[in-house]
Structures are given as structure tokens and as C-alpha cells.
């Protein structure tokens, strides 16, 4: 059994992520953190899934059993937990959420005292402790050493202030009509509040969580209802969040989805114009379109690429001292105001851009054309090392000479090979994709 994946621990609640597993995970994390603790206090938040009650209680039991005090803040966006952890001087923040997954799943994400996600190295150490039954048993405390837990319900105000501080003080949203889809998730309260306090007229949809409807046919993954609402209400903008509000999808005034890479490009150039883009550079993932590359380069901006995952984007941002980056999926990191992807901070930045340019979303949020792109997932019998496949290197060299960008990698969870090609010439790209698919089917399944 392996606990940690690409973004904390995630799986079906009650089976993979059971009460027993969660309690042991809380104990393991507490044991690892004990020698490093300063305040001996851990913050715990969650999204709106029914299973959050079970996981929260089990987690608190595990943490208090090894002597930590716990502050529970209830349903809050993931980026809010990152911010409040540092703001309240807690040793660690923990978010209970499976992000964009359906309600059956849940997850646990860890943030250090600065609001940064745990590194892979720390996750491995906690996982080692988790499987050490003797250490778990011996680390439990008794008497006055047992930790205590308390719930605080007013921390939402701290996060609202932080969000409003990310928006230019000389600007207001007065006269703007926004449709906001909170995905029946963690931002169902804070999202409408912040936009209304800044002066916008806000029409809110999918803001009545019942424990089971989080992300259900709504939010960042399912935008049809929001698109229709933007047109119906003649709104200036549609904003779709996911279950824990760490990502955003934007709908323009015509009801059309704005591509994530075009969004990154728009914000990057705007920040560059305002002298707010540190090192004149941006971090995106290997999945981002080459059209973004070309557009940024034409505006004097360098693009760094990371592996898939906002944690990997942030790692390069910190290493290179870059303050802006993200993924085409909607995870946008404005590091001057957020420690991780924050859908609300990102939406406010986009609104500031629209107000400053005094133009409609459809006019400014698609500043470049995307290269045609195709992704094919192939079932494979075994995951042979790509550099050991005879003839592959030569084929990839040909693709490079013909200006076709490729990304070929195995799925981390399935026996699948993911093949992505991208080029200006769509017909040529599709022809090469057909050839590659035929090649891989023979090379990997013979």
C-alpha cells in the first residue's frame, strides 16, 4: 500500500481512506513533526464532502494522541488553509479534500508553517512512520500530554482580507456583473462575499452543498450551466471554481470557455506591462501549448516548463525566484498573494486586467492562437523504459526537425502510454500521430 500520490493522499473515503488509515496518518505526521514543532498547533480545514466529518475526527484523534493541539476551521478553500496556517503561526496546515473528484473520494494535503506543500522527501518519511506499528504505539502520550482540539468559525474574515488585498486598491468591481459557480464546494461562502464586497453584482450558482453534490455536473470540470447563465444574465464574466477552489475556469461574456494557456499568457503579459512580473519569466508545465511559448517570447518573457502538477510548477518558481506560473487546467499561482493555486486570487487578477484595459473578456483573454494538439492514450502490456525502445529516438528526432512538439509518458496509475503531439500543421501532426501509434502498438504489445 502506498499512501502519497501526486497531491497528498487521495482515494475512496471509507475504503482506501478509512478512519483507521486517517488516524494512523495523523499520528505518523505528528510523530515526524514533533521534534520540529514551534507552537505545537496544527490547523485542519476541509471541503463540503460528507466524508469530511469522519476524516476530520479521525485525523484529530491521531494528532491529539501524539500530543498536538488542533484548530479546526471547517469548510474553507485549500489556498485559505495555506494562508491561515502561516497567518495563525501554526506548525502545519492540513486540508481534507479530493479537489475536483466526485464526493465518494476524499484526500489529505499537508502544508508547512510557511504555507508550502510538503516535499516528496517529507511525505516519504511520514509514510515510513505510518507502517512502523511499534513507533506508532510507543509515540502515544497519556495524561496532561494528550493534545486538545477547538473549532474556530471566524477565520474566513482573515482570508477575505487577504483576497481583497490582492486586488488593486484604486479599483472597484462596481458595474461588473459576474456569474460565480462554486461547485457546491469549499468556497460557497467566501467566493460570493469577496466579489460583493468589492462592488460586483454577483449571480451565484451551485452554492448549496449537501455533502454529496460537490463537483457534480458543475464547477471547473462541467461548465455548461455556467456558460448558459453568463449569456442568460448578460454577465461580463463567468467564474468556475472546483471543489476546493484552488483552480479556476473563466467564461467570457459570449459564454465561451477561455483556454487555460491563453489565460496564463494574458495575465503574464499584463503583469509584464505593469512591471509586476519578476525576472520577466513564467513557469508552466510540459502540457502547455507551444502557442504560449511563442506569445511570451514575442513579448520578452521567458517560459520555464515543469512536470505536471502545481507542486512542480511552484518548485521551479521558488528555485528561479519567479512570482507567476500555473497549469493549463486552471491552477494559477500568483505567488505574491498565494502560496498555491488560488481560484479566487486568479479571478480577481483577471477582473483587474479587464477593468484596466476597459475591454470585454473575449477581446483580451485570447491574445494568441493555440497550436493544434492531439493526445492519445494507449493500453500497454508493460511499461518498457522509453529509452530502451528500438527506433524511438530516431522518430523523435524527425518530429523535432519538422517542428512537432511531443510529450510521451506513462500514466502513473494505469498501464497506459500517453502520447501528445502539437504542431502548427494539423494534417502533418495527425499523420505523425498515426505513425507513432502504430509504432508503439507493435513495440509495446508484441
Residues marked active site are found at 99
In angstroms, the Cα distances linking 257 to 83, 155, 338, 362 are 29, 33, 24, 10
Would you tell me how many other CB atoms lie within 10 Å of the CB of residue 378? 17
Residue 171, burial from CB neighbour count under 10 angstroms (0-12, 13-18, 19+):
middle
The answer to whether 281 touches 139, Cβ cutoff 8 Å, is: no
In angstroms, the Cα distances linking 243 to 51, 159, 163 are 14, 17, 18
Would you tell me how many other CB atoms lie within 10 Å of the CB of residue 276? 14
The answer to whether 3 touches 124, Cβ cutoff 8 Å, is: no
Alpha helices (H) in 131-215, listed in sequence order: 133-138, 156-165, 190-197
Cell of 222: 462541467
List, as own/partner pairs, every contact residues 290-294 make where C-beta atoms lie below 8 angstroms and the sequence separation is at least 24, other chains included.
Answer: 290/371, 290/405, 290/422, 291/261, 291/368, 291/369, 291/370, 291/371, 292/261, 292/262, 292/264, 292/265, 292/368, 294/368
DSSP codes of every residue in 422-436? E-S-HHHHHHHHHHH
The answer to whether 374 touches 430, Cβ cutoff 8 Å, is: yes
Among 151, 43, 142, which Cα is nearest to 92's? 43
Amino acid at each position: 500500500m502506498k499512501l502519497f500520490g501526486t497531491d497528498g493522499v487521495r482515494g475512496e473515503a471509507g475504503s482506501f481512506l478509512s478512519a483507521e488509515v486517517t488516524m494512523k496518518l495523523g499520528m505518523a505526521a505528528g510523530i515526524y513533526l514533533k521534534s520540529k514543532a514551534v507552537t505545537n498547533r496544527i490547523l485542519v480545514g476541509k471541503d463540503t464532502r460528507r466524508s469530511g466529518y469522519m476524516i476530520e475526527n479521525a485525523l484529530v484523534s491521531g494528532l491529539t494522541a501524539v500530543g498536538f493541539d488542533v484548530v479546526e476551521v471547517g469548510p474553507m478553500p485549500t489556498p485559505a488553509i495555506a494562508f491561515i496556517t502561516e497567518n495563525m503561526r501554526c506548525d502545519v496546515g492540513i486540508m481534507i479534500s479530493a479537489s475536483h473528484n466526485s464526493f465518494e473520494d476524499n484526500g489529505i494535503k499537508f502544508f508547512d508553517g510557511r504555507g508550502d506543500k510538503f516535499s516528496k522527501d517529507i511525505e516519504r518519511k511520514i509514510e515510513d512512520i505510518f507502517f512502523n506499528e511499534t513507533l506508532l504505539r510507543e509515540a502515544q502520550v497519556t495524561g496532561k500530554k494528550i493534545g486538545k482540539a477547538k473549532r474556530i468559525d471566524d477565520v474566513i474574515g482573515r482570508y477575505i482580507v487577504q483576497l481583497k488585498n490582492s486586488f488593486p486598491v484604486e479599483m472597484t468591481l462596481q458595474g461588473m456583473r459576474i456569474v460565480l459557480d462554486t461547485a457546491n464546494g469549499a468556497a460557497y461562502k467566501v467566493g460570493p462575499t469577496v466579489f460583493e464586497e468589492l462592488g460586483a453584482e454577483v449571480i451565484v450558482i451551485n452554492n448549496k452543498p449537501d455533502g454529496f453534490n460537490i463537483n457534480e455536473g458543475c464547477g471547473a470540470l462541467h461548465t455548461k450551466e455556467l456558460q448558459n447563465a453568463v449569456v442568460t444574465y448578460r454577465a461580463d464574466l463567468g467564474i468556475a471554481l472546483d471543489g476546493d477552489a484552488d483552480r479556476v475556469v473563466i467564461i467570457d461574456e459570449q459564454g465561451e470557455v477561455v483556454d487555460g494557456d491563453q489565460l496564463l499568457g494574458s495575465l503574464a503579459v499584463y503583469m509584464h506591462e505593469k512591471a509586476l512580473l519578476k525576472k520577466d519569466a513564467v513557469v508552466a508545465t510540459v502540457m502547455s501549448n507551444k502557442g504560449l511559448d511563442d506569445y511570451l517570447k514575442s513579448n520578452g518573457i521567458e517560459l520555464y516548463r515543469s512536470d505536471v502538477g502545481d507542486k512542480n510548477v511552484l518548485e521551479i518558481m521558488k528555485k528561479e525566484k519567479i512570482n507567476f506560473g500555473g497549469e493549463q487546467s486552471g491552477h494559477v499561482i500568483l505567488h505574491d498573494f498565494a502560496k498555491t493555486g488560488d481560484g479566487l486570487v486568479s479571478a480577481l487578477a483577471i477582473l483587474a486586467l479587464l477593468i484596466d484595459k476597459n475591454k470585454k473578456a473575449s477581446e483580451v483573454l485570447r491574445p494568441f492562437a493555440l497550436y493544434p494538439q492531439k493526445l492519445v492514450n494507449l493500453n500497454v502490456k508493460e511499461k518498457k523504459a522509453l529509452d530502451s525502445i528500438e527506433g524511438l529516438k530516431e522518430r523523435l528526432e524527425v518530429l523535432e526537425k519538422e517542428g512537432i512538439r511531443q510529450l510521451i509518458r506513462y500514466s502513473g496509475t494505469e498501464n497506459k502510454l500517453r502520447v501528445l503531439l502539437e504542431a502548427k500543421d494539423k494534417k502533418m501532426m495527425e499523420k505523425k500521430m498515426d505513425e507513432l501509434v502504430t509504432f508503439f502498438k507493435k513495440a509495446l504489445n508484441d
